[in-house]
Amino acid sequence: MPSPLICFGQQPCGIFPRRFLFSKIETARRLQRELGGEIVFFYHDSDHDPRETITILRDLRSGREHRLNLKFESKLQKQFSPLFAKRLVPGWQEQTARQLPNLVPARWVDEFKKIEATNVADFCLAMYRRLGLLEGVRVARSSDHELRQNAAAVDDYFVDVTYEKELVRARFTPDALLLHKGGDSYIRLPLEEFAPTQISPTRDTRLRWMQSVIRCTHYVAGASEIKYLNTDEAPGVQFIARDEISESDRAYVPDA
C-alpha cells in the first residue's frame, strides 16, 4: 500500500486566511495523525477572482466587522490577471499595517510588516507561513511551470497570455480566448500558440489536472467543493469533507 498523501486545495483567500482554509488544514493534520504520510497544499494561485482575497476581521474592542483587500496596480490586473501576477500597489502594506492594531494581536501586525512580496499570491502564502499554518506541509502551486508541464491535458482550461502589456487569464474556446467582463460581456482575444506551461484548469477540470501530478490518496474538500467535485475522475482517492467550523468565511487569526 502506498504511504498516505493527504491533499487539500485552495486559492489565496485573504491576508489572513478564511477560517474554512484553517479547517481544511486542521482536518488534514488530524488525518495525518491517524494515518501517517505527507500533507500537500494545492495552492491554486492561477485563479484570478479578486473577491477571493477579501479579508473579514473584527475590531478587537467593538467587534465591528472590517473588510480589507489587497490593492492591485491596475484595473486590468484586478479583473483579469491571475493572482500570482496581480502586483501590489507600493505603500499598500504600510497603509494596511496602520489599520491592523485594532483588528489583530500585535504579534501578527509585526509579522505582517516583515513580509517582502510584490504580488498577491506570494504575499498571502508568506503570511500563512508566518502564522505557522504550513509547518511540515508541502506546497504545490498551480502557477508552477514544472507542475503545469507534467499535468495531464484537459479539455476545458484557461491560458495565460499577454493583453495590453499585462499577463491575463483567458478562457480557451475553439475560436477565441475570452476575458469575462461580467454577465454576457466578454473581450475576445485571437487564438495564438501556447504551451502547457501557460495552461491552468477550470473548476470542473481542476481535480483531474491536479491529481495527475500530485497523486494523492486522500483529499480534504470544502463544504461547497464536495458538492461539485466529480470524484469519478480520481479513482482510488478517499474524499473527506473538512471539519465544521463557525464563521467559515471570516478570517482566521491565532491568539497572540
- For residues 194-208, give the mean pLDDT: 96
pLDDT tens-digit readout, 64-75: 999 999 999 999
What phi, psi does 109 have (nearest 5°)? -65, -45
Does residue 84 register a pLDDT over 80? Answer: yes
- For residues 125-142, give the mean pLDDT: 98
Question: What does the longest C-alpha to C-alpha distance in the chain come to?
Answer: 56
Domain boundaries, the chain: 5-241
Task: Give Cα separations from 89 to 16, 117, 213 (angstroms).
Answer: 18, 11, 34
User: What's the one-letter identity of residue 62?
Assistant: S
Q: What is the SS3 assignment for the chain?
A: CCCCEEEEEECCCCCCCEHHHHHHHHHHHHHHHHHCCEEEEEECCCCCCHHHHCEEEECCCCCCEEEECCCECCHHHHHHCCHHHCEECCCHHHHHHHHHHHCCCHHHHHHHHHCCCCEHHHHHHHHHHHCCCCCCEEEEECCCHHHHHHCCCCCCEEEEEEECCEEEEEEEECCEEEEEEECCEEEEECCCCCCHHHEEECCCCHHHHHHHHHCCCEEEECCCHHHHCCHHHCCCCEEEECCCCCCCCCECCCCC
Does residue 2 register a pLDDT over 80? Answer: no
End-to-end CA distance of the chain: 42
pLDDT tens-digit readout, 229-251: 989 989 999 999 999 999 999 99
What strand order describes the sheet that includes 5-10? 137-141, 38-43, 5-10, 218-221, 238-241
